[in-house]
Amino acid sequence: MSIKVFFIACEASGDAHGAHLIEQLRSLDPAIECLGLGGLKMKRAGMPLITDMTSLSALGFGDVVRQYFTYRRIFYRALAEARRFKPDVIVVIDSPAFNLRFAKKIYTEFPIVYYISPQIWAWGEQRIHLIKRVVSKMLCILPFEEEIYEKAGVPYEFVGHPLLDEINITQSRQVLRNQWKINQDRLAIGLLPGSREKEIKRILPVMLDTAVLLKAEFPEAIFFVTSSPNVRREIYDGILKNYPGLELRFQTYSHDLVAAFDFALVTSGTATLETTLLGVPFFLLYKTSWSTYFLGSHLVQVEHLGLANLLAEKTLVPEFIQQKAKPKAIAQKAIEFLWNDEAMNKMRFELLEIRKKLGEKGASRRAARTIYAFGLSKCSQANSG
């Protein structure tokens, strides 16, 4: 008896997590049927795509408003396709602005499993009542989320963080530096500007201006700009051409590459946790539209933006957000840090310690088993009825 699963993943990171879920589900039942919204990784894993959500470039409230009719059309088409498909379970991944609205529309018809919890610990717990009403089971990936859902009476399971499965560096740092042709007397600094076009346009110039100042202090430094497959090459080229005197290497983002860096400037998002788990010292940067920042600054209820700091329960990684993301301020702090071997080693150690808080490997496998059990239960009920 095979089950049918409808997925929704709206971001590149959700697409990656969704692809791993599909692979694990197929290991449980090769005949499982999938359909939904996602990206090319989920498509390669065997899910027919209704829409490639990763091709959209919405960053914050202002950008979503500008693409309102696009999202509205996708939303109602997804509802129609889900009802036609008649899944045994619907799996929504992260992206609460879209997914909680979707769940609210359809939870009375199909069970909803939520993977990658909404950040209610950051935005306050106003959404917890809606989650309790529409979500059949929450799959938590962060340890401090358990207490929130336990207290609220939301069915949950802590499955661990899926990045623990995805980050598997088996080579030494020396070997990795040789692989990327980084001489041992060079200071390798990564510039990780994000995975969306608008992020890159806003943040990469700040990183490059900072790099110019760092190059003056560290002439041996070499800078790696990492690229995302979701962003056109000409976007990067249009920015990089303004820095002809800066020694830059343009490389596709990979864990092996980041693990070879001495230091990095990282845009807030999945890459900050990946950099944390790789034990590479970094500073966090973030800039969004002023409308999004204004709204967020009045709603966010945590002291830190970065997960490394939230998990460490202190300011481990310096954060430069919005108007504080100025090249001179970032460079000044970075120069002090890079000259301080003790501070760099301390950050490396504390970043790697965070890994221990995120559970054991196998998050995708554990999540898939729970989803499969939900689907089988629904499928059995339908057949017995």
Domain assignment present for residue 349? The answer is yes
Mean pLDDT by 10 residues, the chain (385 residues): 91 92 96 96 97 73 66 95 97 93 96 90 70 95 90 94 88 91 94 90 96 97 92 94 93 95 94 94 84 44 71 91 93 98 96 89 95 83 62
- Pair 327, 221 in one domain: yes
Residue 352's domain is classified under what CATH number?
3.40.50.2000
Domain assignment present for residue 336? The answer is yes
- Pair 80, 94 in one domain: yes
Domain assignment present for residue 345? The answer is yes
Our count of domains for the chain comes to 2
Domain assignment present for residue 38? The answer is yes
- Pair 126, 33 in one domain: yes
- Pair 154, 198 in one domain: no
- Pair 350, 290 in one domain: yes
- Pair 52, 191 in one domain: no
- Pair 77, 185 in one domain: no
Q: What is the pTM of this model?
A: 0.82
Q: Which residue range(s) make up the domain with 256? A: 173-358
- Pair 327, 178 in one domain: yes
- Pair 369, 331 in one domain: no
- Pair 30, 102 in one domain: yes
The reported pLDDT for the residue numbered 230 is 79
Please state the three-class secondary structure of the chain as a single string.
CCCEEEEEECCHHHHHHHHHHHHHHHHHCCCCEEEEEECHHHHHCCCCEEEEHHHCCCCCHHHHHHCHHHHHHHHHHHHHHHHHHCCCEEEEECCHHHHHHHHHHHCCCCCEEEECCCCHHHHCCCCHHHHHHHCCEEEECCCCHHHHHHHHCCCEEECCCCHHHHCCCCCCHHHHHHHCCCCCCCEEEEEECCCCHHHHHHHHHHHHHHHHHHHHHCCCEEEEEEECCCCCHHHHHHHHCCCCCCCEEEEECCHHHHHCCCEEEEECCHHHHHHHHCCCCEEEEECCCHHHHHHHHHHCCCCCCCHHHHHHCCCCCCEEEHHHCCHHHHHHHHHHHHCCHHHHHHHHHHHHHHHHHHCCCCHHHHHHHHHHHHHHHHHHHHHHC
The reported pLDDT for the residue numbered 143 is 87
Domain assignment present for residue 259? The answer is yes
- Pair 199, 262 in one domain: yes
Domain assignment present for residue 282? The answer is yes
Domain assignment present for residue 168? The answer is no
Domain assignment present for residue 167? The answer is no
- Pair 198, 326 in one domain: yes
pLDDT tens per residue across span 254-301: 999 999 999 999 998 889 999 999 999 999 999 875 444 444 443 444
